[in-house]
């Protein structure tokens, strides 16, 4: 592969807009859009729509309703929850090659967080909420598309970008949209931040979130203790058994995150909720942990309790299969043209890339800015990485358009390994 004259024009387009690409990400990060902050999410959504209208005026941009989901309160009550809309942007949906690009506009920082504004550190890094994860990534995504749309070979490639409002809480509302896109695309690009040195995430574990409602019987702890059935005690026993699954199968972890419920010290607790997460390296391990969870929650640890399990595997594992390996090698070769040394390593974390892979789409899911300390008030991104990473994505799109990255073959490899 080499950088052609049209390719170079695309790269120059990105370089010329450096300040705008960084500046809009800072502006978006200064607007709180915690996953539960509906008003803030809608404000950021409007800002994204305005930017897309300005930079990609020929694209079809539409708000898409996300699915409802079932949630469990700390009191054990089961409720239906709704989410903000996703934003879907598409160009040339009938082109022979389809690229799927995804990102999320929610962050982990709630509306009441004290971490609200982007600041420049003494070393030049940008420190702010979502600047890396992933409003910076969204700006990179759009910059790559804006530049690619100037390429003469764009006509053979259609693309759809989906920006979701709920990735940081497991994509409960946008998961069906991701599955639909993954099934009909050839290759996927997702904009989670890379590591500070540019390393990408390779294989990813799968993840599941569970909420076990334990219902007992209240009674006075002094006068009628024996008449009660202590839900907190039962929850603790089950939690200990769940924790005991760690080390039983290689690569499988169970994290008991919280036990909620109970009440006054003189009352036998009649309610509890055990919340736990599991991580698995492969599909067989997912089946194994589901069987173990089923066994532990089929029968209460003592008489008089009722168990009600909610949740499940939210994201399937994303192994380095033949399609993923071939795609990473193609991205590495593309990066080399730009003087970027692309490396990757496995991750225990999960993201929309897991959803896309499960739907049959080979994808790279850490094409966002270089940064670190995400999900903390130390979150940062390196300003130079905005152009660097946007050029990488833009050149990937150029090479898909030229056929030097064979998207149809990548898709076929993925289907053969399914």
Q: Which of 266, 285, 315 finishes a domain?
A: 315
pLDDT at residue 278, as a whole number? 98
Taking the alpha carbons at both ends of the chain, their separation in whole angstroms is 29
189 and 275 co-located in one domain: no
DSSP 8-state code for residue 173: T
CA-wise closest residue to 108 among 43, 181, 33: 33
Does residue 172 sit within a domain? Answer: yes
CA-wise closest residue to 367 among 99, 101, 150, 87: 101
Q: Which of 300, 315, 330 finishes a domain?
A: 315
Structural domains in the chain (count): 2
239 and 330 co-located in one domain: no
Does residue 365 sit within a domain? Answer: yes
156 and 266 co-located in one domain: no
Separation between Cα atoms, residue 29 and residue 50, nearest integer Å: 16
290 and 196 co-located in one domain: no
CB–CB of 202/346 below 8 Å?
A: yes
pLDDT at residue 417, as a whole number? 84
Residues 201-239: tens digit of each pLDDT: 999 999 999 999 999 999 999 999 999 999 999 999 999
Identify the residue whose tokens are 């991580």. 279
**Omega prior to 134 cis, within 30 of 0:** yes
Does residue 185 sit within a domain? Answer: yes
pLDDT at residue 418, as a whole number? 75
Does residue 74 sit within a domain? Answer: no
107 and 150 co-located in one domain: yes
* CA separation, residue 34 to residues 134, 141, 173, 269 (Å): 12, 21, 15, 33
145 and 12 co-located in one domain: yes
Residue 254 has which token pair?
């169970």
Task: Provide CB contacts within 8 A for 244, sequence distance 6+.
Answer: none
Q: Which structural domain, as residue segments, surrounds residue 225?
A: 206-315
CATH, residue 132: 3.40.630.10
- Under-70 pLDDT residues of the chain: none
CA-wise closest residue to 255 among 301, 208, 194: 208
Q: Which of 315, 336, 355 finishes a domain?
A: 315
């Amino acid at each position: 592969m080499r950088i052609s004259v049209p390719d170079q024009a695309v790269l120059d387009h990105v370089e010329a807009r450096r300040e705008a690409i960084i500046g809009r990400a800072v502006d978006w990060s200064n607007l709180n859009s915690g996953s539960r902050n509906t008003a803030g999410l809608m404000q950021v959504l409007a800002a994204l729509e305005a930017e897309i209208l300005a930079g990609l005026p020929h694209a079809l941009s539409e708000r898409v309703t996300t699915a409802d989901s079932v949630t469990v309160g700390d009191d054990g009550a089961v409720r239906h929850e709704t989410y903000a809309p996703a934003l879907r942007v598409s160009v040339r949906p009938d082109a022979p090659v389809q690229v799927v690009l995804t990102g999320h506009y929610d962050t982990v920082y709630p509306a009441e967080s004290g971490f609200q504004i982007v600041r420049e550190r003494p070393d030049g890094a940008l420190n702010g909420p979502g600047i890396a994860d992933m409003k910076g990534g969204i700006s990179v995504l759009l910059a790559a598309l804006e530049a690619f749309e100037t390429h003469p070979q764009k006509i053979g490639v259609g693309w759809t970008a989906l920006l979701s409002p709920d990735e940081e809480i497991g994509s409960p509302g946008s998961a069906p949209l991701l599955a639909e896109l993954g099934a009909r695309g050839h290759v996927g690009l997702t904009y989670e931040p890379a590591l500070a040195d540019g390393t990408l995430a390779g294989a990813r574990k799968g993840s599941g979130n569970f909420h076990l409602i334990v219902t007992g019987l209240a009674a006075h702890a002094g006068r009628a203790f024996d008449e009660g059935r202590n839900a907190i005690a039962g929850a603790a026993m089950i939690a200990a058994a769940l924790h005991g699954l760690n080390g039983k199968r290689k690569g499988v972890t169970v994290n008991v995150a919280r036990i909620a419920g109970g009440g006054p010290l003189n009352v036998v607790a009649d309610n509890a909720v055990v919340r736990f997460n599991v991580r698995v390296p492969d599909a067989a391990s997912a089946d194994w942990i589901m069987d173990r969870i089923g066994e532990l929650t089929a029968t209460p640890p003592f008489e008089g309790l009722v168990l009600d399990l909610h949740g499940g595997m939210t994201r399937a594992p994303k192994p380095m299969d033949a399609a993923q390996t071939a795609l990473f090698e193609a991205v590495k070769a593309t990066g080399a043209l730009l003087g970027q040394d692309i490396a990757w390593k496995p991750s225990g974390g999960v993201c929309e890339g897991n959803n896309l892979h499960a739907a049959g789409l080979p994808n790279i899911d850490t094409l966002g800015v270089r940064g670190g300390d995400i999900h903390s008030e130390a979150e940062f991104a390196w300003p130079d990485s905005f152009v660097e990473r946007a050029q990488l994505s833009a050149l990937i799109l150029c090479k898909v358009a030229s056929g030097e990255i064979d998207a149809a073959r990548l898709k076929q490899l993925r289907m053969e390994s399914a």
